[in-house]
Amino acid sequence: MSLSVDIRLRAGGFSLDAAFQTGDGATAILGASGAGKTLTLRSIAGLQAPVDGKILLDGVSLFNSTERVNLPVRRRNVGYLFQDYALFPHLTVAENIAFGISRRTKAQQRESVSRMVDLLRLHGLEERRPAGLSGGERQRVALGRALAPHPDLLLLDEPFSALDAPSRESLVEEFIALREAIDVPTVLVTHDVAEAYALAEHLVIMGNGRVLQSGPKAVVFHQPVSPSVARLVGVQNIFNDVRDGRPVVVGVRASNMVVGSEGEPNATLDQTVDRGVQLLGRFTTDRGVQVVAELHRSRFADLVPGSRRRVEAREGTALVWPASPGA
Amino acid sequence: MDWDALRISLQVAVTSTILATLVGVPFAWWLARASFPGRGVVSALVLAPMVLPPTVLGYYLLQAVGRRSAIGGLLDSVFDFSFVFDWTGAVLAAFVVSTPFLVRTAQAGFESVDSVYEEAARTLGRSEISVFLHVALPLARRSVLAGVALALARALGEFGATLMVAGNLPGRTQTMSIAIYDAMLAGRTSDARVLAITLTFVSVGLLVAIGAGASASSWRQRS
Amino acid sequence: MRVCYLWLLVLSLAVSTGCANTPNPSGITVAAASSLQPLLDSIRSGFEKQTGVEIHITYSASGAVARQIEQGAPIDVFISAGDQYIDDLAKKLFLRQDSIITIGHGQLVIVRPLPEDDVTPSFAEAQRIAIANPEIAPYGTAARHLLQSAGLWDDIESHIVYAQSALQAFQFARAGEVDYAFVPLPLVHTFDTAVALVDPSALGLPTTSVMYTASITASTTDIEHAQAFVAYLSGPEAVAKLHEFGYNSVSEPR
């Protein structure tokens, strides 16, 4: 599949200017709140009309301002998962799932619904109304509803943000399994870099209504083109430095910060932050820079605030960008 | 006691309410969802008959469809038909006074339903008519029914504009309201009493029926 | 203690104002048949100048006025078309029997709207024929009686449109909403544009007139001025106006 987006849009004082292309596999649009990710997604679906630009899916124009093409939503065959799922409250689970396939015969509809119920583990819930479902169940019904019509493209708006952590974990895994069963090109919007990385092959990083970087996830993840992108892909340490007499900005992941007892200590521990899955140490270097380093639990059980250690980036992992005003 | 007036009242009120529903509900949905510069003006124009006295409306209606008007003259010469002194004139008057109530109530109902459901329906391939019938309308059902009930009540009680346009013709355009007035004018006070009590029961009965229908359907939906 | 006296004063003032039988400080109220509008509107200023008494006139169908008087409306003089309402109210003691007089007649005529095109339906083909509501208007009763006597009523009854008063029947014709209307002749003389007179003998109908009867109400609070007005109606100025507007005076043959 190939999706090509190049649009400009204005909505309530916010201006969007986004351009990117994606290939096979899933694409994640990553960015902070208000970056314009949902607006971009809605434009692809046709729920919002850009002022200018074009959107092409597999060579078919969904939108083209110069040729005055603006395919109505219902003709785009794009499945959409809304942030709060938007399940029809007055219909049952089965009726919700069948909503987009009403033109097929009753027998075909029953078969499609039953297939979705199997795939998404919704057995026994067919006659329930959305009000009687848990968050995770609702999300699966919404997925089933969007997938039943065999869409050419599946769009998901923050699919897991409304769920608690355990549900999220299992659903991410389920989702990956689902995509093997139903091979549909997918674009999802999220502000969680871990989720983006797990679910997508391509990343599109957005900030302030613009695309900051797009490409295969490994490239974007490991070679962010600017400090802003670096922050969004989870580089926790970003600070100013001088290299070769020139001012630069340096980025180092917490996981690439090495904390050692050998060598001249150059930083003092302020506090440790234990997030269960990760143990982090916040240090202030002697040069006054605050850094975060990932610590291995076994080796640093005795670390107390005030301890002095040597903290430096692993060889070759520091990202360097030229300093520019407002970077 | 002849019951033509009751028959005519029901005929006129039900016909005008059906018309008001067919025209007013989709229009209310459009008003609720549209956003264009003149929307406020259109909204105000639609609601204007609510604030105008019925006799003022009657006057304007006569100007619009009386035999000497452009529309009235055309209808008369081509179809040999006139709204004036005809039960259809009573329907027209009732329609004009009751539709704004229906539109306003239904519009508020549609506005209170999140438009995301309609967007979802569109992404699932449904046409605008289907979005209206299968998503917008069911979700705003209660307000729409309330609007219909209001319109029916207003139509049943219509007097001033009806009298001016359709006249007071017993057996043809004399509605219950007009019949009560007529009986009082002619000194037939016992007739007036019977008619008034009957109209009270009919009005209240109809509204109770609509209210019961509305709560029954929402009860079914909840279970 | 003093507040109490104040309240007593206020109360007694209120009560005495209600009980007092003071004359209407601003003149007398006359309720008249709708077809008398041309006559009464033209003689009122003459009367007011002569006597210095203001008159307030309301017009409706005679039967409607009769109902209002029965319900106690503050009317001083009632001028009705026909005499049946006057007789009825006098029997019920709402009117002063000794004040009843006939003041003139009005001829019942047939009019049709001036056509915009050449096509005018014949009486037999007419879609709509207006008469005043016989239940409340004597001109309507007269029109119905006329048509029944001529044997035409059964055929055209379904085309009859009832107006709330003789004046309204005339207005229907003026506006072109009906094909024919039975109306008092004085109205035609006053508003003679837009309608044409139809010769009743061409339809096999005789001419007929309706008399106007005036009376003073029993509940009047200003009998002196009421009597003066009723007398004025029979006086030379009023009779001259009668002829001017197409009414017949009492002495003329009907």
DSSP string, B117-139: HHHHHHHTT--HHHHIIIIIHHH
Overall domain count for chain A: 2
List chain B domain ranges: 3-222
- Whether A136 has its CB under 8 Å from any CB of chain B: the answer is no
How many whole angstroms separate alpha carbon C254 and alpha carbon C240?
Answer: 17
Q: Are residues A56 and A201 in the same domain?
A: yes
Chains touching B by CB (3 or more pairs below 8 Å): A, C
Flag whether pLDDT at C161 surpasses 50.
yes
So what's the pLDDT on residue A327? 45
Q: Which of A12, A5, A8, A18 has the alpha carbon at shortest distance from A50?
A: A8
Q: Per-residue confidence at C124, pLDDT binned at 50, 70, 90?
A: confident
So what's the pLDDT on residue C2? 67
Q: Are residues A183 and A267 in the same domain?
A: no
Which of B116, B125, B138 shows the shortest C-beta gap to A90? Answer: B138
CB contact under 8 A, C64 and B168: no
Flag whether pLDDT at C88 surpasses 90.
yes
Q: Which of A143, A124, A138, A158 has the alpha carbon at shortest distance from A41?
A: A158
Half-sphere CA count of B164, side-chain side, radius 13 A: 20
- Give me the percent of chain C exceeding a pLDDT of 90: 53
- Whether B218 has its CB under 8 Å from any CB of chain A: the answer is no
Give every strand in the sheet of A78-81, ordered side by side: A69-70, A60-64, A52-57, A3-11, A14-22, A210-216, A202-207, A26-31, A186-190, A153-157, A78-81
Q: Are residues A162 and A268 in the same domain?
A: no
Q: Among residues A229, A248, A265, which one ends one of the domains?
A: A229
Flag whether pLDDT at A59 surpasses 80.
yes
Tokens representing residue C40 in the block: 């009464």
User: Any idea what the Cα angle at residue B89 is, between residues B83 and B90, rounded to 5°?
Assistant: 165
Mean pLDDT of A21-32: 89
Mean pLDDT of C151-180: 91
Provide the mean pLDDT of chain B.
90
Q: Are residues A191 and A269 in the same domain?
A: no
Flag whether pLDDT at C66 surpasses 90.
yes
The domain that holds A21 is classified in CATH as 3.40.50.300
Q: Per-residue confidence at B223, pLDDT binned at 50, 70, 90?
A: very low
- Whether C136 has its CB under 8 Å from any CB of chain B: the answer is yes
**A327, part of any domain:** no
Q: Per-residue confidence at B192, pLDDT binned at 50, 70, 90?
A: very high
- Whether C66 has its CB under 8 Å from any CB of chain B: the answer is yes
Q: Are residues A58 and A177 in the same domain?
A: yes
Q: Per-residue confidence at C118, pLDDT binned at 50, 70, 90?
A: low
To the nearest whole angstrom, how far is the Cα of C252 from the nearest Cα of chain B? 32
Which domain range does residue A256 map to? 235-322
φ, ψ for residue B7 (rounded to 5)? -60, -45
Sorted by sequence, the CB contacts under 8 Å of residue C47 that are 6+ apart come out as C53, C55, C228, C229, C232
So what's the pLDDT on residue C22? 44
- DSSP state letter for C217: B
- Give me the percent of chain A exceeding a pLDDT of 90: 56
How many whole angstroms separate alpha carbon B209 and alpha carbon A140?
Answer: 40
So what's the pLDDT on residue A325? 63
Question: Measured between beta carbons, which residues in chain B are less than 8 angstroms from residue A86?
Answer: 114, 116-117, 119-120
The domain that holds A269 is classified in CATH as 2.40.50
So what's the pLDDT on residue C23? 47
So what's the pLDDT on residue A179? 79
How many whole angstroms separate alpha carbon B67 and alpha carbon B202?
Answer: 34
Query: Comparing C26-105+211-253 with C106-209, is the CATH topology the same?
Result: yes
Mean pLDDT of A99-114: 94
How many whole angstroms separate alpha carbon A295 and alpha carbon A280?
Answer: 6
Q: Are residues A213 and A240 in the same domain?
A: no
Q: What is the pLDDT of residues B107-156, one digit of tens each?
A: 999 999 999 999 999 999 999 999 999 999 999 999 999 999 999 999 99
Widest pairwise Cα distance in chain C: 86
Flag whether pLDDT at A91 surpasses 50.
yes
Q: What's the CATH code, domain C106-209? A: 3.40.190.10
Widest pairwise Cα distance in chain A: 76
Out of 1.20.1640.10, 3.10.20.740, 1.10.3720.10, 2.80.10.50, the CATH code matching B3-222 is 1.10.3720.10
Q: Among residues A194, A213, A229, which one ends one of the domains?
A: A229
DSSP-based three-state secondary structure for B164: helix
- Whether C27 has its CB under 8 Å from any CB of chain B: the answer is no
Q: Exposure of C7 by Cβ count < 10 A (0-12 exposed, 13-18 middle, 19+ buried)? A: exposed
Q: Among residues A229, A248, A279, which one ends one of the domains?
A: A229
Mean pLDDT of A182-207: 90
CATH topology of domain C26-105+211-253: D-Maltodextrin-Binding Protein; domain 2 (3.40.190)
So what's the pLDDT on residue C6? 67
To the nearest whole angstrom, how far is the Cα of C111 from the nearest Cα of chain B? 17
Flag whether pLDDT at C20 surpasses 50.
no
User: Helix B176-185 crosses helix B4-33 at what angle (to 10 degrees)?
Assistant: 130
Tokens representing residue B54 in the block: 């019925």
Task: Determine which of A52-66, B64-78, C53-67 has the lowest per-residue pLDDT on average.
Answer: B64-78
So what's the pLDDT on residue C141? 95
Mean pLDDT of A243-252: 90
Q: Are residues A239 and A218 in the same domain?
A: no
Flag whether pLDDT at C252 surpasses 70.
no
How many whole angstroms separate alpha carbon A130 and alpha carbon A89?
Answer: 6
- Whether B188 has its CB under 8 Å from any CB of chain A: the answer is no
CB contact under 8 A, B116 and A82: yes
Interface C:A, ≥3 CB–CB pairs < 8 Å = no
So what's the pLDDT on residue C180? 92
Q: What is the ipTM of this complex?
A: 0.87
Is the CB of residue B62 less than 8 Å from the CB of residue B165? Answer: yes
List chain C domain ranges: 26-105+211-253, 106-209
CB contact under 8 A, C161 and B85: yes
Q: Which of B203, B174, B211, B196 has the alpha carbon at shortest distance from B87?
A: B174
CB contact under 8 A, C136 and B68: no
To the nearest whole angstrom, how far is the Cα of B19 from the nearest Cα of chain A? 27
To the nearest whole angstrom, how far is the Cα of A77 from the nearest Cα of chain B? 7
So what's the pLDDT on residue B19? 97
Interface A:B, ≥3 CB–CB pairs < 8 Å = yes
- Give me the percent of chain C exceeding a pLDDT of 70: 86
Chains touching A by CB (3 or more pairs below 8 Å): B
DSSP-based three-state secondary structure for A272: strand
